[in-house]
Structure 1
Amino acid sequence: MNLADRLQAAAERLGGRAVLTLDEAELTYGALEELSARLAGLLRCRGIGAGDRVAIMLPNVPEFGVVYYGVLRVGAVVVPLDPLLKRREIAAYLGDCGARLLIAWHAFAETAEAGSSGTKADCFFVVPEEFRRVLRGVPAEREIVSMAPGDTAVIHYTSGTTGRPKGIELTHANLGGNAATVARMHALGVDDVVLGALPLYHTFGQTCSLNATVQAGARLTLLRRFEAGRALEVIRRDGVTVFQGVPTMFIALLDHPGASDMSMLRVCASGGAALPLDVLRAYETRFGCEIVEGYGLSETSPVSATNRGGRHRRPGSIGWPIRGVEMRVVDEEGRETPTGEIGEIVVRGPNVMKGYWNDPEATAEAVRDGWFHTGDLGRVDEDGYFFLVDRRRDVIIRGGYTVYPREVEEVLYEHPAVRQAAVIGVPHPELGEEIEAVVALRAPVSAGDLRDFVRERVAAYKYPRHVSFVDELPMSATGKILKRALTRPAPSPR
């Protein structure tokens, strides 16, 4: 099997239908198949074949699909990189995976060239009209290289928020199976239009937007970057039926004055981070569109669990495992915890990564007896619904008491003045850690009022003694709040 087979099959059925659009730019299934075959021909001319790593540094543009499927077509491995990476980051990733080629967007040429200098990677820059002209002069590679299900298709690098970034090896079976499951769960079809607001270089956007769209024969309408007003414009202009996003996107839409009824959306799916329950309720009340929350990590391709729509949904939960996937909550010794008790979420199934690139020790630590240890804390209720409690590394120990930041954040989001909230532990000489809330506001409120608001709703040891205000919380490119950027160092000895 080869992921590129999905595109070829769709092109045979739907050649003249649009698959990727960006404002006025459009690629049909037939054109995407033809251009990706020519990109494969270009790679062949450069001596690139099965197993070689090709890095892609492209924004959300139709050319991403051309390059992505073209690289897979020759059996090479896609290494997607954030286009906003700096020189030393690019050099580190290219050096680690031994990439033969870096295909980058023309606007990032200077940084890409500097980053690739000193590595084994040559550079090729994508300039839209020039790109198509070059490909027209290259013979198309009609044959798609046959790959084994366990062969690596993509290496995704972790964000590095917990230490040195690691390359996550995802196979053709991992990604193909997960995309097919997403397409089936959302009942995607040829008449659906999916909003491409998620970065395509990330596994969430790649699997749930790009690959699932192609699997279903639907259309993906792209946004280069998410901005609430622009997203609303595209949703209405293009008749979007499926919106997949991260919590910060739903919060931004709630804050936008031009947002109104969006009941035309058939599916709203949230992932990437926990969605505050108060945000979910406010969004659904205001817009008349149900949000289905799911769960996964890059290491799980990414979807592991999700709510189903209608009566099968349990707001506040991440649902239950997708078909073929098992999930459990375990204690420190790996024993399954009783119903309702908090432990680590572990995952087993065809979505679990092959391993970390060239890092057998990290792989053995993460995957034990076939179970991937997520580092996320959760619980399971009597009906089998999973609830995400927090990241293990984010838990605060205050004077011997355990505080789960997400619980406090949920309370903060209930306050009408709070737009974004992060709760972190800061060093304290007697208690070990003290609780601090870092908040971005949509309306004026004092630190004291917020502190009192939380104190009235949680146990005395849980409320934040410190409240600080920022204009915006630091975010990753995929919409996750970067708590490490907020954590204060230990105070100097007096």
Structure 2
Amino acid sequence: MTSQATVHGLLERNARKYLTEEAFVTPTSRLSYSQVNAFANQIAHYLKNSGVGSGERILILSRNNEQFLFSFFGVLKIGAIVAPINTRLTKEELVQVLMNIGAVGILYEASFSTMIHELNHAISTIWMHCIQNILQFQHHLPTSNLDLPIRAEDPCEILFTSGTTGTPKAVLFSHDRLRNLAAAICVEFHITRSDKLLTLMPLTHSAPLNCFFLSGIYAGSSHVIADFSPQLFLQSIQSEHSTITFAAPIGYILAAKELNVQSFDLSSVRVFAYGGGSLASTAYIQIKSAFQSDRFYQVYGLTEAGPNGSFLSPDEHLAKAGSIGMHPTLNMELRVVRDDGTDVSSGERGEIILAGDTLMLGYYHALHGISEVTDHGWLKTGDIAYRDEEGYVFIVDRKKDIIISGGVNIYPREIEEVLSSHPAVTEACVVGVPNDEWGETVKAVVVLNKSVTEQELRTHVASSLADYKCPRIYQFVPELPRNANGKVLKNDLKK
């Protein structure tokens, strides 16, 4: 039998324990753990018969559905490394990713056949197999578990960072580090067999996949997976009686703005989790009012850490809105340090560093292998933060995003929060643009939901911030430019 110390070992355990009990709800299917395990085994046998070996990299091109489930676990079962890829990437971006990690093949959902056809013309050295075709035309394949020597410390997953410039880095994890993360999240959020997790954020991203989906697998919970829309988000909670949800802050914001949230029955939810950014106090109050709930948890962490780091509990949100919490999650360490590595004093700004048993093995590249990026076990996050007098950590900005104007450090995030608190502003991004006299000057790029003048925004910002922080340039756009992972392309806004 495959070791229980692997990620797919969790699926196999659940298949034995829970047999025919419903465990997965997708847009087109309702499946048990044993059914998902059987289909994953067929994918695994197919790959093994095709000569795919241990440690080889396989991309998955699929939306949140049963095809993703079958292929994700199928790849793991043969000791290969699974690499879920963002479905919004262009052909050129896919080629670059394939080359960088030295992938041997792609398992793809049938709806991406046109993209695969174009990709096949651009790179013919790898195989490309449709997941549905494997299961339809190879139905004679065994549904039994494979007996292969796969160790807990073996690499098993690559996720791609959502950098705003250049090719995303390939973050490599092993089975044991993913299981450590799943166990920690289960403890922190008290996830049990009785929970039903709603995952509508792309499973190509680290938080929905590693934090919540795999923690649910660890606990033997049931799952609802699909692609996000505000309407589907609320409808799924109501119809499936979900108990735990995860979304980016914008997901909750859009639901609150576009829908009458209180017309949906959300009483089953005990955890509204969010990550990828903090909620300012005004935004939190608006969402709390719309959802008629105070059960919001903020999760902080980097892809490179699992993601794992810290969280802010519901009873801390009002008093400490904007904080990522005070304590790290289970088996993690979190410090805020100066450039020399010493801990900052209360109110002093420094960089967050993380250590723990969920950190990545390193960045993977086909030519260079695994690059070690920790310093004596500590991962530098690039997040500039401070602790208040009680020890709560507040992120000020990304280290690389700091604007230096006239020799003074200006933190865009602080300005963005003030701009976003105006009722006419849907979204705002602040960048530094070159200036001959000052080095850089502050520019605000704003998305509006109703009419407002530039002068009104200037007055609004000036009422909360010092003069030197106030944007000198305003640009109004219908939407902010983003990469395939949804991160704002700040370099484009500096032009």
Q: State the partner residue of 2:85.
A: 81
Deviations 1:42-81 (A, max 9, x none): 1111111311111111111111111111111111100111
1:1-400 maps to which residues of 2 (within 5 A)? 1-116=5-120, 117-118=122-123, 120-127=125-132, 130-224=133-227, 226-260=228-262, 262-289=266-293, 290-310=295-315, 314-319=320-325, 320-358=327-365, 363-364=371-372, 366-400=373-407
Shift of 1:477: 4.7
Give the letter aligned to residue 368 of structure 1.
D
What whole-Å deviation, never above 9, does each CA across 1:406-465 have from its counterpart, x for those lacking one?
111111122111111111111212111111111112221111101110011111101112
Q: 1:292 to 1:477 in 2, by over 3 A?
A: farther
Shift of the 466–115 alpha-carbon distance from structure 1 to 2, 3 Å rule, reads same
**Paired position in structure 2 for 1:492:** none
Shift of 1:144: 4.8
SS at match of 2:322: coil
Structure 1 residues 431 and 311: CA distance shift in structure 2, 3 A: closer
Partners of 1:66 and 1:252 in 2: CA distance: 31
SS of equivalent to 1:136: coil
CA contact (8 A) 1:50 1:76 kept: yes
CA distance in structure 2 between the partners assigned to 1:277 and 1:362 by the alignment: 41
> Gaps spanning 5+ residues in structure 2: where?
none
Q: How many angstroms apart in 1 are the aligned matches of 2:390 and 2:52?
A: 51
Q: What one-letter code is carried by the residue in structure 2 that aligns with 1:165?
A: P
1:68 partner letter = F
Alignment of 1:483-494 (within 5 A): 483-488=490-495
The alpha-carbon deviation at position 280 of structure 1 amounts to 1.6
- TM-score of the pair, normalised by structure 1: 0.93
1:368 deviation in Å? 1.1
Q: How far does residue 24 in structure 1 lie from its aligned partner after superposition? A: 4.3
Instruction: Verify the 8 A CA contact 2:361 2:370 in the aligned structure 1.
Output: no
Asked whether the equivalents of residues 40 and 74 of structure 1 are also in contact (C-alpha less than 8 Å), the reply is: yes
Q: CA deviation at 1:484?
A: 2.9
CA displacement 1:193-236 (0-9 Å, x = unmatched): 22211111111121123211211222221222x22122222221
| Structure 1 counterpart of 2:436 | 429
Cα separation, 1, equivalents of 2:329 and 2:126: 38
Q: Is the 8 A contact 2:188 2:330 kept in 1?
A: no
1:403 aligned onto 2:410: yes
CA RMSD of aligned residues (A): 2.1
Aligned position for 1:459: 466
Whether the 8 Å CA contact 1:40–1:140 is kept in 2: the answer is no
Is the contact between residue 278 and residue 323 of structure 2 (CA under 8 Å) also seen in structure 1? Answer: no
Distance between the aligned counterparts of 2:436 and 2:330, measured in 1? 49
Kindly tell me: are residues 361 and 120 of structure 1, through their superposed partners in 2, closer, same or farther at Cα, counting changes over 3 Å?
closer
CA contact (8 A) 2:170 2:363 kept: yes
Cα separation, partners in 2 of 1:89 and 1:478, compared to 1, 3 Å = closer
Contact kept? 1:19, 1:29, Cα under 8 Å = yes
* Displacement of 1:476: 4.3
Amino acid at match of 2:234: L
Unaligned runs of 5+ in 1: 489-494
- The 1:165–1:398 alpha-carbon spacing in structure 2 relative to 1, beyond 3 Å, is same
User: Aligned to 1:375, what secondary structure does the other structure show?
Assistant: strand
Distance in 1, matches of 2:378 and 2:346, equals: 19
Q: Is the 8 A contact 1:2 1:146 kept in 2?
A: no
Deviates more, 1:178-187 or 1:341-350: 178-187
TM-score of the aligned structures, taking structure 2 as reference length: 0.92
Aligned match for 1:474, one of 481, 486, 489: 481
- Report how far residue 310 of structure 1 moved: 3.2
Q: Which amino acid aligns with 1:472?
A: E
**Which letter maps to 1:357?**
Y
Contact 1:476 1:482 (C-alpha < 8 Å) held by counterparts: yes
CA distance in 2, matches of 1:179, 1:190: 14
How far apart, CA to CA, are the structure 2 residues paired with 1:362 and 1:132? 34
How far apart are 1:150 and its partner, in Å? 2.6
Aligned-partner SS, 2:324? coil
- State the Cα distance separating 1:277 from its structure 2 match: 3.1
What is the distance in 2 between the residues matched to 1:174 and 1:407? 34
Distance 1:72 1:144, change over 3 A: farther
Distance 1:478 1:84 in 2: 8
Q: What is the deviation of 1:135?
A: 4.7
Distance 1:161 1:145, change over 3 A: farther
**1-side partners of 2:173 and 2:225: how far apart?**
24
> Which residue, 442, 451, 473 being the options, matches 1:444?
451
CA separation in 1, counterparts of 2:277 and 2:138?
39
Q: Secondary structure at the match of 1:78?
A: strand
What is the aligned length? 484
The separation in 1 between residues aligned to 2:485 and 2:446, in whole angstroms, is 19
Contact 1:246/1:479 (<8 A) preserved: no
Q: Residues 269 and 150 (structure 1 numbering): CA distance in 2 closer, same or farther, change over 3 Å? A: same
Q: Distance in 2 between matches of 1:196 and 1:135?
A: 30
CA contact (8 A) 1:181 1:323 kept: yes
Query: Percent identity at matched positions?
Result: 31
Inter-partner Cα distance in structure 1 for 2:308 and 2:74: 25
Query: Aligned equivalents of 2:482 and 2:212: distance in 1?
Result: 21
| Aligned residue number for residue 419 of structure 1 | 426
Taking the aligned partners of 1:33 and 1:362, their CA distance within structure 2 comes to 31
In 2, Cα distance between equivalents of 1:318 and 1:436: 27
Give the Å deviation of 1:131: 4.7
Q: Distance in 1 between matches of 2:388 and 2:173?
A: 31
| Residue range with higher mean Cα deviation, 327-336 or 52-61 | 327-336
Distance in 2 separating the partners of 1:163 and 1:87? 15
CA deviation after TM superposition for structure 1 residue 141, in Å: 4.7
Change (3 A) 1:264 1:445: farther
The aligned amino acid for 2:178 is L
